[in-house]
Chains A and B, each alone.
Chain A
Amino acid sequence: MIDPNINNVIEIEGLDTWYGSKQILSNISLHVERKEVMVIMGHSGSGKSTLLRHMIGLNIPASGSIKLLGKEITGLNRNELHQLRKHIGVAFQNGALFSSMTLQENVELPLHEHTNLDHNTIRIMSRLKLELMNLSDNEDLMPAELSGGMLKRAGLARAVIMDPEILFFDEPSAGLDPVTSAELDELILQLRDALNMTIIVVTHELESAFKIADRITVIDNGQQIITGDKETIKQSNDPRIVNMLERRAMNDNIDADDYLNKLTRD
């Protein structure tokens, strides 16, 4: 059973992970409190999406502990993990909609699989969520007929159809124009306020992160640089944070010989 009063819905301690011989995440430790929006920030390839995959049990760490809703997920079998995942929703970067189903069928799928509700009730519930995502006129379209922003919103509608306690959202702004991106940010805040969800967002967009976050964790090259509220991040003296906030490349001073050696190495 899951304790409904648990405050830290996610607790990670000393997480290490490798892809082959390359270390992706090193000694990550953080917690996420109930009903907060935690943003995990970092450059492309910093390991933030891998961290999200560990939080939802899609990747197994080399070492460390991950507690989701108070349960250590690294030792759970598939059935136990599935029981736990009924309390979460995940919106993937590309939507990850099933290409053989319409938008509405995609959104209804979790309800068909996990509830005994009749067809009409399921239809009403899915329309409510599609309305919330401003997709009500597109319910009969196939995923291939949707734009990038619509795919993300459709993925979000499917992720929240079961009213999960925790919502994970991978790169909500990636590849979107500023207006659509701002709409998605508003949507995330609405979800937190209206549905009382804990929301974990992975993004590399500064504006988006500072708009929606209660707290931010910055990951760089697999290492956790800082975790704190927006003011803590803004006041940090760490050069990597300063560079990120000022949108500067990390290596301004490149040695010409070193660079040439790097390009011409075997």
Chain B
Amino acid sequence: MSTNRPQALSSFESVLIRFGIAGIFLFETTLTIVLPPYSLKPLIKQIAFIGARSLLVIVVAGLFVGMVIALQFYDTLVRFGSVSLLGSAVGLSLIRELGPVLTALMVIGRSGSAMCAEIGIMRVDNQIDALECMAIDPYRYLFAPRILAGIICVPILTAIFILVGIFGGYFVGVVLFGVSPGSYFQGMSDTVLNRDLFMGFSKSLVFGLLIVWIACDKGFNLHLDKHGAYGSEGVSRITTEAVVLSSIAVLFSDYLLSALIL
């Protein structure tokens, strides 16, 4: 037998290498996004998957979140006689924090998990190997449209979530509790600055990238995970890991971006 046996790696080295592989995955995908040839059809398909099919759940979630924060803020503000600030409170909390974060969490549950499982099954079923053997670059064919669609769709879904949330807050504050409609919208337009809009937009952009990157990387590199089964159990495990990791990445980057922009 040969003596060219590879050296065993420590856990720390394995973790470092795994981060490196995820970094290379993003780099390779970015290269295929930037360099020609460009193809619109797969991008539209992914926009439909991540964006259009998530629309209903985003609208419903946005409506109820807007309603509940208006309810909570009204109950607090009425104690200080500052009910006129309700529009500002609802607007700021939705635009700066709740809109981007909750939209991202909904997209993780709705699209990120499905994407990770789909790519993982493709890996287990040799479909990704088949792509490679047909000389079709999986980074260009599978991941470039998904990453681009994530970056495009999550900010749009966030904007829709915020918009619906503001009207949910309007329904509770103005229609149910009788706050003046003028003060609701005027207070909002007085206090929401460009910086707040920039914060919400940049967060949703970063979240869109993180969600798709983690989901696709986890599925694509399923075979590199030495700690678990490779088949259906492996797909189930990496899908759970992708959801947990994306959620933590979203919340952690939310803090970082808030600290940077504020």
Contact = CB atoms under 8 A, between A and B. Distances in A.
Interface string A1-44: 00000000000000010101101001100000000000000000
Given A18-B4, A63-B4, A92-B130, 18 more contacts: A23-B5, A62-B2, A62-B5, A82-B132, A85-B134, A86-B135, A96-B125, A96-B126, A97-B127, A97-B130, A99-B121, A99-B127, A109-B134, A110-B134, A110-B135, A113-B134, A114-B135, A155-B130
Contacts of B126: 92-94, 96
Bin the interface of chain A by size: 35 or more
Contacts of B125: 94, 96, 99
Q: Chain B at the A interface: mostly helix, strand, loop or mixed?
A: loop
Interface string A196-215: 00000000000000000000
A23 B135 contact: no
Contacts of B75: none
Nearest to A221: B1
Given A63-B4, A94-B125, A58 B132 contact: yes
B2 A85 contact: no
Given A94-B125, A114-B135, A26 B1 contact: yes
Contacts of B5: 18, 21, 23, 62
Interface in B176-206: none
Nearest to B6: A18
Interface of A: 16, 18, 20-21, 23, 26-27, 53, 56-58, 62-63, 78, 82-83, 85-86, 88-90, 92-94, 96-99, 109-110, 113-114, 155, 158-159, 168
A82 B136 CA distance: 7
A56 B6 CA distance: 22
A18 B141 CA distance: 30
Nearest to A82: B135
A102 to B, nearest CB: 15
A85 B1 contact: no
Contacts of A57: 132
A224 to B, nearest CB: 13
A216 to B, nearest CB: 23
Interface of B: 1-2, 4-6, 8, 121-122, 125-127, 129-130, 132-137, 141, 226
Nearest to A61: B4
A78 B129 contact: no
A16 B2 contact: yes
User: Which of B130, B133, B135 counts the most A-chain CB atoms under 10 A from its CB?
Assistant: B133
Contact of B136 (A83, A88, A109): A109
Contact of A96 (B2, B4, B6, B130): B130
Nearest to A25: B2
A215 B5 CA distance: 31
Given A23-B5, A63-B2, A92-B126, A78 B133 contact: no
B226 A82 contact: no
Nearest to B132: A58
Given A85-B135, A88-B133, A114-B135, A62 B127 contact: no
Contacts of A63: 2, 4
Nearest to B137: A82
Contacts of A113: 134-136, 141
Contacts of A86: 135
A58 B129 contact: yes
A260 B194 CA distance: 76
A65 B133 CA distance: 20
Nearest to B138: A78
